[in-house]
């Protein structure tokens, strides 16, 4: 099947070379690239959208994986594609903001990715196990002040959403803690449940899944996280930390605005579908529906917020 999809895709690519973008967009299959491997959350979202997108756009949508470099290989590939709307890609924030900032050359620049829409937010929270002596965030901060670097926090990756939240919070609270990166959220959750770290920077869906074993000290949201309304937000405790992993879709630079509008309408239609929203909520996500312009502004805002943090901590 995969083979077939690849062949079809190659044939289509050859065909597209000859035909310029036409008024009747879309009129042939659209490739929807996932810059991660199969089975991840980005993939599952794309698979959920695939039939609905096909219905809304009236053409086939082919999901294609291009994993590597934490997504950078896929995004570098995206910007080299023809900007005719027949090649789009999943985009993830903070990845697309932090990679160019932290790596110097990630193969693409944040502003080269043209956002279509953002449809899912995964709030990041700081959690401890139920039997932890830290009953609330204040306990943790007090302990960290007395014992610098002694609190070990787990999270997924370096220069990732978890890492940047860790740095921002440490700075805001004036404390020093140790951050231990893992390869992926699943491994950091395993290390956390096994007691190998004292606290965890976790994604809301993972935290919801293990809700009965953990205590969330704070979420990086503006409003309380609906699945766990009793957990406070960083904001309510006096720290301006807004941490989240947001999923959306983007197109190559120079993609015409008319084309973006068509895609935006299709994606937002799905994002606002009550059934889809219900499923996302149940799995521990926050459904959002940001259009192209709004997404662009949001991403620009994040660049301004994170650039100094990366600069400060990157030796």
Partner 1 sequence: MFDFALTGLYQVFIPGNFLVLCIGVFMGITFGALPGLTATMGLALLVPFTFTMSPSAGLIMLAGIYVGAMYGDAIPAILINTPGTPAAIATTFDGFPLAQKGMAQHGLVAAAVASSFGSLVANVVLAAAAPPLAEISLKFGPPEYFWLGIFGLTIISTLSSGSLIKGFLAGCIGMILSAVGMAELGGDIRLTFGFTELQGGIELIVALIGFFCLPEILSSVIGQRRAAYAEKMTKPSLDVIWQVITALFRRPTLMFRSATIGTIIGFAPGAGGNIASMVSYNEAIRWDKHPEEYGKGTIKGVAASEAANSAMAPGSLIPLLTLGIPGSPPAAVILGALMLHGMRPGAELFTDYADITFAFIMGLLVAAFLVTIIGSFGSFVFSRIINIPSRYLAPAIVFMTVLGSYAIRNNMLDVWIMFIFGIIGYVSNKLKFHPAPIVLGLILGPFVEEGLVQSILAGKAAGGTFQYMVYRPISGVLIFLCIMSLLWPLFAAWRSKQKEAKVTELTGSKAERDVRDA
The footprint of partner 1 (CB under 8 A) covers 1-3, 6, 37-41, 43-44, 47, 50-51, 64-70, 72-73, 76, 102-103, 105-107, 149-152, 157-160, 178-183, 186-187, 189-191, 193-197, 209-210, 212, 279, 282-283
At closest approach, how far in Å is the CB of 169 from partner 1?
A: 17
> Among residues 206 and 246, whose Cβ is nearest to partner 1?
206
Please report the sign of the dihedral spanned by the C-alpha atoms of residue 94, residue 203, residue 311, residue 302: positive
Query: Is the preceding omega at residue 43 within 30 degrees of 0, hence cis?
Result: no
The DSSP bridge pattern shows strands 61-65 and 114-129 to be unpaired
> Among residues 1 and 23, whose Cβ is nearest to partner 1?
1
At closest approach, how far in Å is the CB of 259 from partner 1?
A: 23
> Among residues 235 and 283, whose Cβ is nearest to partner 1?
283
At closest approach, how far in Å is the CB of 155 from partner 1?
A: 11
Beta strands in the chain (DSSP E): 30-34, 61-65, 87-93, 114-129, 152-156, 178-182, 199-203, 214-219, 244-251, 286-290
At closest approach, how far in Å is the CB of 281 from partner 1?
A: 12
By the 8 A CB rule, do 287 and 120 touch? yes
> Among residues 303 and 310, whose Cβ is nearest to partner 1?
310
At closest approach, how far in Å is the CB of 291 from partner 1?
A: 27
Ramachandran area for residue 282 (φ above 0: left; ψ -120 to 50: alpha; else beta): alpha
> Among residues 3 and 23, whose Cβ is nearest to partner 1?
3
Cα 254 to chain centroid, rounded? 23
At closest approach, how far in Å is the CB of 206 from partner 1?
A: 8
> Among residues 174 and 194, whose Cβ is nearest to partner 1?
194
Among 8, 181, 38, 60, CA closest to 16:
8
At closest approach, how far in Å is the CB of 207 from partner 1?
A: 11
> Among residues 59 and 152, whose Cβ is nearest to partner 1?
152
Residues with Cβ within 8 Å of 164's Cβ and at least 6 positions away in sequence, in order, are 94, 98, 243, 306, 309, 310
Q: In angstroms, rounded to a whole number, what is the distance separating the alpha carbons of residues 135 and 127?
A: 10
């Amino acid at each position: 099947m995969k083979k077939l999809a690849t062949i079809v895709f190659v044939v289509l690519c050859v065909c597209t070379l000859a035909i310029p973008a036409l008024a009747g967009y879309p009129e042939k299959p659209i490739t929807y690239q996932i810059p991660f491997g199969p089975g991840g959350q980005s993939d599952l979202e794309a698979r959920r959208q695939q039939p609905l997108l096909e219905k809304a756009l009236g053409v086939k949508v082919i999901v294609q994986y291009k994993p590597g470099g934490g997504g950078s290989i896929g995004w570098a590939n995206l910007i080299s594609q023809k900007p005719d709307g027949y090649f789009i890609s999943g985009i993830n924030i903070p990845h697309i903001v932090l990679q160019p900032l932290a790596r110097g050359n990630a193969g693409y620049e944040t502003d080269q990715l043209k956002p279509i829409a953002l449809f899912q937010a995964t709030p990041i929270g700081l959690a401890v196990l139920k039997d932890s002596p830290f009953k609330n965030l204040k306990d943790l901060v007090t302990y960290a002040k007395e014992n610098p670097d002694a609190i070990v926090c787990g999270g997924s990756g370096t220069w990732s959403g978890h890492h940047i939240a860790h740095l921002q919070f440490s700075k805001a609270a004036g404390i020093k803690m140790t951050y231990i990166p893992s390869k992926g959220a699943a491994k950091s959750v395993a290390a956390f449940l096994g007691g190998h770290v004292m606290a965890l920077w976790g994604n809301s869906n993972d935290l919801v899944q293990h809700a009965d074993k953990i205590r969330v000290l704070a979420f990086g949201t503006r409003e309380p996280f609906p699945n766990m309304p009793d957990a406070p937000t960083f904001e309510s405790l006096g720290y301006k930390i807004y941490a989240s992993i947001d999923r959306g879709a983007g197109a190559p630079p120079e993609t015409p605005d008319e084309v973006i509008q068509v895609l935006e309408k299709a994606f937002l239609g799905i994002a606002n579908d009550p059934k889809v929203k219900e499923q996302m909520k149940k799995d521990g996500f926050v459904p959002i529906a940001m259009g192209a312009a709004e997404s662009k502004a949001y991403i620009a805002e994040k660049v301004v917020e994170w650039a100094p943090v990366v600069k400060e901590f990157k030796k």
